[in-house]
């Protein structure tokens, strides 16, 4: 499917008929009303790069500051030197460059008293772009100076937008092989920012249009991954999205879009999976269109990476679920316990500052903490009562068995750490290796806490469930000896906030019996 370009005539689009989509902004700072009026007359009908000129007037440096605060996209400023003070204009230049840190706006000093601000001194000591004596600034020279300044502003803005886009793309690059929806969005936003710079679109100053969109398809749903411009005109935005989606899916050119707008399909294995829609301010060259097509290919590759990532993640989830099911079939009482440990672990990981995405991985790893019990004899697992020392020694071997099952797959490295070491203690008196638990993964130390807590609040053949407050006190007592004290502090905080109440309730109401417990 090739690049689609709309060929609608201006009259065919109500949006286009409304006139230019945005204007260049020129700030005129002068305390002489006649000079401001003369400037406006001399620049009447001014047009550059298919855009008109919006002239903003200030009679003092103070008024200019207010206009600069209200209009972040001023391209050029004509500044008189002598206004409220003999150097008011020069102080305004310093304010723009140093205080506002605005390096984009082009500054032209225009003075009627060159003796108070000599040209060479001003050029050497102030960050300006041009110096003009009012007596020499005829209508033609004013036109030339403003046009040159606007061209410089446009080119600098294009470079800056491409820099911003490149920064976003590079920021997303480290995740290219484990890309997520979040990093994909960042990648697409960076790509769109670069296209904006390439096409001289406006990233923030559109009044009644959408500058650009990158969208993807999920079956028949359309998700906007990146956008620019003012999206308050919601009906137009929805119209564009619907028209572009239909165009890419059917291969038919859409009607009613702006003249010279482009729709670029995103293809994965020759199937449309999304589109890039842009509205350039002027027709693009063949080189520009070729570059945009290349960008579309990169977006498609990113989407393909995401699809592979999702497939890999789903395969990992299925593998974890299958292994957890094995343990559950071996001991049918294990299933609900595994699900509760997963839930506890995710909540506690987030409280400890782990990202939601990472906490989900922690929860999955926790589900395999007792997978080694598949190697424990049924007579011991199902014994209706406390275990004797010999039986308890057999149960202890489930950590080594679990480690041996999981150690051969690098994707299960964290789960292997949990299965092998979740019975180690903070003081180094646990098993199987008797090493301080601070040496192991955070999720292992989390599971050590929640595994004991869940066992305490669960029903056993020889005891009723402990009240949750009593079980929490037992966890608190073990801080610094059996458990990581930092994990215990976070656990108790969530417990007091009631974040575990629904999990505890499920454990206490369960009719099945959890696996043998080797704690209190």
Dihedral pair phi/psi, residue 446, rounded to 5°: -70, -45
Among 80, 108, 137, identify where a domain stops: 137
Same domain, 280 and 407: no
Residue 249: CATH number of its domain: 3.30.450.40
Do 244 and 385 lie in one domain? The reply is no
| DSSP category for residue 412 | G
Same-domain check for residues 103 and 200: no
Instruction: Give the Å distances, CA to CA, from 519 to 288, 343, 423, 476, 496.
Output: 69, 21, 10, 14, 23
What pLDDT score does 292 carry? 73
In a domain, residue 314? The reply is no
Residue pair 369/447 in contact (Cβ under 8 Å)? The answer is yes
On whether both 226 and 166 belong to a single domain, the answer is: yes
Q: At what angle do helices 334-351 and 286-330 cross, to 10 degrees?
A: 130
Residue ending a domain, choose from 71, 106, 137: 137
Q: Are residues 421 and 298 in the same domain?
A: no
Assess if residue 473 is contained within a domain: yes
Q: Is residue 5 part of a domain?
A: no
**Known catalytic membership, residue 373:** yes
Report if residue 182 sits inside a domain. yes
Whether residues 276 and 168 share a domain: the answer is yes
Q: Which domain holds residue 376?
A: 331-509
Return the SS3 of 140: helix
- Enumerate residue ranges in the chain where pLDDT < 70: 1-21, 162, 164-187, 194, 196-211, 218-220, 229-236, 253-256, 259, 281-285, 287-288, 306-307, 309-316, 325, 327-335, 460-462, 510-520
Distance CA 443, CA 422 (A): 9
- What does the DSSP assignment read for 161-207? HHHHHHHHHHHHGGGTTS--HHHHHHHHHHHHHHHHHHHT--SS--S
- For 270, residues 6+ apart whose C-beta sits below 8 A from its C-beta are none
Residue 83 CB neighbours (<10 A): 23
For 440-479, give the secondary structure using H, E and C: CCHHHHHHHHHHHHHHHCCCECCECCCCHHHHHHHHHHCE
Tell me: do 102 and 189 sit in the same domain.
no
Q: Is residue 325 part of a domain?
A: no
| One domain for residues 364 and 422 | yes
Phi-psi region of 19 (alpha: psi -120 to 50; beta: other; left: phi over 0): left
Whole-number pLDDT of residue 344: 96
HSE at residue 289, side-chain half, CA atoms within 13 A, is 15
Domain presence at residue 319: no
Beta strands in 43-91 (DSSP E): 47-48, 51-58, 76-79
Residues 352 and 501 in one domain: yes
In this structure, the answer to whether residues 290 and 375 fall within a common structural domain is no
Q: How far apart, in Å, do the first and last CA atoms of the chain sit?
A: 68
Residues 82 and 124 in one domain: yes
**Same domain as 301, residue 193:** yes
- Choice among 239, 364, 373, 429 that is catalytic: 373
Phi, psi (deg, nearest 5) at residue 235: -65, -35
CA–CA separation, 331 vs 341, rounded Å? 16
388 found inside a domain: yes
- Domain membership of residue 318 (yes or no) is no
| Residue 181, both tokens | 């929806």
Q: What is the CATH number of the domain that holds 369?
A: 1.10.3210.10
**Spatial CA neighbour of 341 closest among 453, 459, 420:** 453
Q: How far apart are CA 309 and CA 296, in angstroms?
A: 20
The model's pLDDT over 119-178, given as tens digits with 9 standing for 90+, comes to 888 888 899 999 998 888 788 999 999 999 999 998 888 787 767 656 655 554 554 444
CATH number for the domain harbouring residue 112: 3.40.50.2300
Count of other CB atoms within 10 angstroms of residue 103: 10
Q: What is residue 354's predicted lDDT score, i.e. its pLDDT?
A: 94
Tell me if 432 sits within 8 A of 399, measured CB to CB: yes
**pTM of this prediction?**
0.47
**Which residue, of 272, 306, 340, is where some domain finishes?**
306
Domain count, the chain: 3
Distance, CA of 513 to CA of 467 (rounded, Å): 17
Prior bond of 474 cis (ω within 30°) = no
Which residues does 483 contact at the CB level (< 8 Å), separation at least 6?
A: 425, 426, 437, 445, 448, 449, 452, 475
Decide: 295 and 194 in contact? Cβ < 8 Å.
yes
3-state secondary structure of 91: helix
């Amino acid at each position: 499917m090739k690049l689609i370009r709309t060929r609608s005539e201006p009259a065919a689009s109500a949006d286009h008929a409304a006139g230019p989509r945005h204007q260049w902004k020129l700030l005129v700072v002068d305390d002489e009303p006649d000079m401001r009026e003369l400037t406006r007359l001399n620049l009447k009908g001014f047009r550059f790069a298919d855009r008109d000129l919006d002239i903003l007037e200030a009679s003092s440096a103070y008024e200019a500051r207010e206009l600069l605060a209200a209009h972040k996209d001023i391209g050029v400023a004509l500044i008189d030197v002598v206004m409220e003070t003999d150097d008011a204009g020069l102080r305004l230049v310093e304010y723009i460059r140093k205080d506002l840190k605005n390096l984009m706006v082009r500054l032209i000093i225009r003075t009627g008293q060159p003796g108070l601000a000599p040209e060479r001194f001003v050029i050497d000591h102030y960050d300006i772009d041009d110096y003009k004596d009012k007596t020499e600034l005829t209508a033609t020279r004013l036109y030339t100076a403003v046009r040159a300044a606007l061209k410089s502003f446009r080119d600098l803005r294009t470079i800056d937008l491409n820099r911003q886009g490149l920064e976003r793309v590079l920021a997303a690059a480290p995740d290219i092989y484990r890309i997520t929806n979040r990093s994909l969005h960042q990648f697409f936003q960076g790509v769109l920012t670069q296209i904006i710079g390439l096409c001289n679109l406006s990233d923030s100053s559109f009044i009644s249009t959408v500058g650009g969109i990158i969208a993807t398809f999920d079956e028949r749903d359309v998700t906007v991954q990146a956008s620019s411009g003012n999206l308050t005109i919601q009906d137009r935005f929805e119209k564009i999205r619907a028209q572009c989606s239909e165009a890419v899916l059917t291969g038919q050119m859409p009607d009613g879009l702006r003249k010279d707008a482009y729709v670029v399909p995103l293809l994965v294995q020759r199937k449309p999976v999304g589109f890039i829609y842009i509205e350039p301010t002027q027709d693009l060259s063949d080189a520009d269109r070729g570059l945009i097509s290349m960008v579309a290919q990169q977006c498609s590759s990113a989407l393909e990476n995401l699809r592979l990532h999702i497939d890999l993640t789903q395969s990992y989830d299925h593998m974890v679920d299958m292994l957890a099911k094995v343990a559950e079939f071996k001991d049918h009482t294990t299933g609900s316990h595994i699900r509760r440990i997963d839930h506890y672990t995710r909540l506690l990981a987030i409280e400890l500052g782990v990202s939601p995405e990472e906490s989900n991985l922690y929860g999955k790893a926790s589900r395999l903490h007792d997978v080694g019990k598949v190697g424990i004899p049924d007579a011991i697992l199902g014994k209706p009562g406390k275990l004797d020392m010999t039986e308890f020694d057999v149960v202890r071997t489930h950590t080594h068995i679990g480690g041996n099952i999981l150690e051969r797959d690098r994707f299960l490295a964290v789960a292997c750490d949990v299965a092998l070491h979740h019975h180690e203690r903070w003081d180094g008196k646990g098993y199987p290796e008797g090493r301080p638990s601070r040496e192991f993964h955070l999720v292992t130390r989390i599971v050590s806490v929640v595994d004991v807590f869940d066992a305490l609040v669960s029903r056993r053949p020889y005891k009723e469930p402990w009240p949750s407050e009593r079980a929490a006190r037992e966890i608190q007592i073990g801080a610094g000896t059996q458990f990581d004290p930092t994990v215990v502090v976070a656990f108790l905080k969530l417990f007091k906030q009631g974040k575990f109440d629904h999990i505890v309730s499920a454990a206490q109401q369960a009719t099945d019996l959890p696996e043998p417990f080797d704690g209190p």
